Amino acid sequence: MAQQRVERRLTAILAADVAGYSRLMGMDEAGTARRLRDHLAAIRPIVARHDGRIVKTTGDGVLIEFPSVVAAVECAIKVQKLMARRNAKLIAEQRVLYRIGINLGEVLVEGDDILGDGVNIAARLEGIAEPGGICLSRSAYEQVKSKIDTQYADMGEQRLKNIADPLQVFRINVGLAATASAPPTLPLPDRPSIVVLPFMNLSDDPEHAYFADGVTEDLTTALSRLRWLFVIARNSAFVYKDKAVDVRTIARDLGVRYALEGSVRTAGQRIRITGQLIDGETAKHIWAEKYDRQLHDIFTVQDEITENIVAAIEPHLYAQEGYRAARQPPESVDVWGLVVRAIDLINKFGRKHNEEAQRLLRRAIEIDPNYARAHATLSWAIWWATLYYYVEDRAEGYRQSALHAQKALRLDQSEPWAHMMVGLNLSTSGQHQRALAEHQAALNLNPSFALAHMAYGWALLRAGRFDDAIAETAKALRMSPLDSFSGLYTTIHGLALLAARRFAEALPYVRASVVADAEFAGHYNALISCCGHLGLIEEAAEFTARRNKVGPPLRVSVLRNNLRGFAHCEVFAEGLIKAGIPE
């Protein structure tokens, strides 16, 4: 029988993907998907004019074939310049930046698809390109170096993932027009830094995913207690859950040196946990271990993993650091699982998710009334539901939140969540100095607790210490740049800048809060006030109309009443008056 002939051809391959795709989707999934469709529609005519063929598109990428490298590079440059113009009209949180890799190589042809090393190299080149940039293989560069008048930079030999031999790579300097929209790369902190990525659930039952989430949560908390270690918050890490993203890209997006990843498998009363500590710059494994234990030993295993990470990152601190987690674990793994699942639901937002979270937490408290974290988390769920008007009697909502926070603190003085929630409720009731003391206690126990930094900033804002509030909320944003509560984070940071009369600096943050959660009327208030101070009256009117569709009509007198006794009340109201909001 004759062997079927395999079709091969030499072609120019362009691979492109969206930089920070997971972050964009985590902040605004529907809006990002819509903008990507619009951008691709604008790019298609450019591809056609250069005789390109779109082979396939993925959620965040596109593969295109060209008859020549010259056509591919000319198309890429025009695409990047088009994207720069389109991005200039958007706020930073909405900008889409493509990274492009171009290779000249042989491909296998299967119907309309193309496969092989030629395609793989283009994809890897795209992975090392800067956002808004273009990288070429040497084979592609040789075809265009004397034919396209642009600036090329030799990046030297690069080792690309799953490509056997190093490849010489060249970068095209498209110009400031194409790259000005790129978000600034987060600098590495001045101390060791790490993100605990969501552990994979390898159990047969997908319902056991909460075990993996719980291990991730607990390891993040344990590492956050170490003062010499900068730890990215849990909510930013969970943006990457179930997503195949290169660890170097994640480290670059979050501005950290190390990443911890792993997996959890449960079978009956047995559990297997694996962990790997990875260098975010080189993707090399620094430490790896596997633990086979009884299910009830899960907390001991988490402590052992924490110890091993400490020893691997800072060996000289291993002997002197009190790295054992200062926690009082629950009476059973079942209680722990209920709390873990509740936290996940709270982070998903929405009345139904919040109600289910409260149900799980009340069940956990029934089983173990002395588990402080359950009371503190219930306090947070109730506080959030009250803030978002999920409850009719807001005074009673805040009272219930305060009761559970105080109960948590009586049960465990070393629980940072308890101190934070006591502080939040004190600040809500206008007891600013007592609130500040509780927030400081929370941060003494957990220096990398991003939400506690934000809550502390909120209390400082209400107490009139605006510059301190700006500094504290900036820390929270750095520790959790992709947080599911990003609307809350950017609102409070923007409010602090607004209160300090730094209106132009405040504007992008209060805009971002509306992008993060366009259904919460409260986020619009700060944006409208800021627009009023800056004389952006038409924009203020547009946002007022949008705001009044999702909440009761905005009135200055209502806001003054709600913020009575808070230091930023008058500057807030002043901006609303300038924006034309009725008294």
Task: Tell me what the mean pLDDT of segment 466-470 comes to.
Answer: 93
pLDDT at residue 303 is higher than 90? no
- Concatenate the DSSP letters of all residues of 242-257 into one string: T----HHHHHHHHT-S
What does the pLDDT look like over 84-131, one tens digit per residue?
878 776 766 678 889 999 999 989 988 888 988 899 999 989 888 888
Q: Are 442 and 426 in contact (CB under 8 A)?
A: no
pLDDT at 245 over 80: no
Q: Are 131 and 183 in contact (CB under 8 A)?
A: yes
Average pLDDT over residues 454-465: 92
> Tokens at residue 200, please?
């994979």
- Checking if the pLDDT of 450 tops 90, the result is no
More confident residue, 229 or 333: 229
pLDDT at residue 575 greater than cutoff 60: yes
CA 405 – CA 429 distance, rounded (Å): 14
- Helix (H) or strand (E) run with residue 571 in it: helix 569-578
User: Is the pLDDT at 560 greater than 60, yes or no?
Assistant: yes
Which residues fall within 8 angstroms of residue 37, CB to CB, at 6 or more apart?
Answer: none
Q: Please tell me whether residue 187 adopts helix, strand or coil conformation.
A: coil
Contact by Cβ (8 Å): 503, 534: yes
> Of 4-18, 98-112, 369-383, which gets the smallest average pLDDT?
4-18
Where are the strands (E) in 424-536, listed by range?
A: none
CA distance 390 to 381: 11
Q: Using pLDDT thresholds of 50, 70 and 90, give the confidence band for residue 185.
A: low
Short-list 81, 70, 75, 76, CA closest to 146? 70
Question: Helix, strand, or coil here: 179?
Answer: helix
Q: Which residue's structure tokens are 């366009």?
A: 518
pLDDT over threshold 50, residue 374: yes
Distance of alpha carbon 215 from the chain centroid: 19
**How remote is the C-alpha of 224 from its chain's centroid?**
17
> Comparing 234 with 197, which gets the higher pLDDT?
197
Give me the domains of the chain, ranges plus CATH numbers.
8-179 (3.30.70.1230), 193-318 (3.40.50.10610), 460-583 (1.25.40.10)
The Cβ of residue 128 has, within 10 Å, a number of other Cβ atoms equal to 20
DSSP state of 209: H
Of 284, 309, 302, 300, nearest to 218 by C-alpha is 302
Tally of CB atoms within 10 A around 48: 12
Cα–Cα distance between 539 and 503 in angstroms, integer? 15
- Measuring CA to CA, which residue among 389, 562, 384, 332 is closest to residue 488? 384
| DSSP one-letter code for 444 | H
Q: How far apart are CA 219 and CA 217, in angstroms?
A: 6
For residue 500, the tally of other CB atoms under 10 A from its CB is 17
The proportion of the chain whose per-residue pLDDT surpasses 70, expressed as a percent, equals: 89
- The vertex-139 CA angle with 136 and 142, nearest 5°, equals 90
Q: Are strands 134-137 and 98-110 parallel, antiparallel or unpaired?
A: parallel
pLDDT score recorded for residue 311: 59
Surface-to-core class of residue 3, CB atoms within 10 Å of its CB (0-12 exposed, 13-18 middle, 19+ buried)? exposed
Query: Looking at residues 419-430, what average pLDDT do you find?
Result: 92
Contacts of 268 (CB under 8 A, 6+ apart): none
Q: Is the distance from CB of 95 to CB of 515 less than 8 angstroms?
A: no
Q: pLDDT tens, 204-240?
A: 777 777 778 888 887 887 788 777 778 888 878 888 8
Burial of 402 (0-12, 13-18, 19+ CB in 10 A): buried
Q: What is the pLDDT of residue 318?
A: 39
Average pLDDT over residues 43-71: 91
If you compute the radius of gyration of the chain from its CA atoms, what whole number of angstroms results? 26
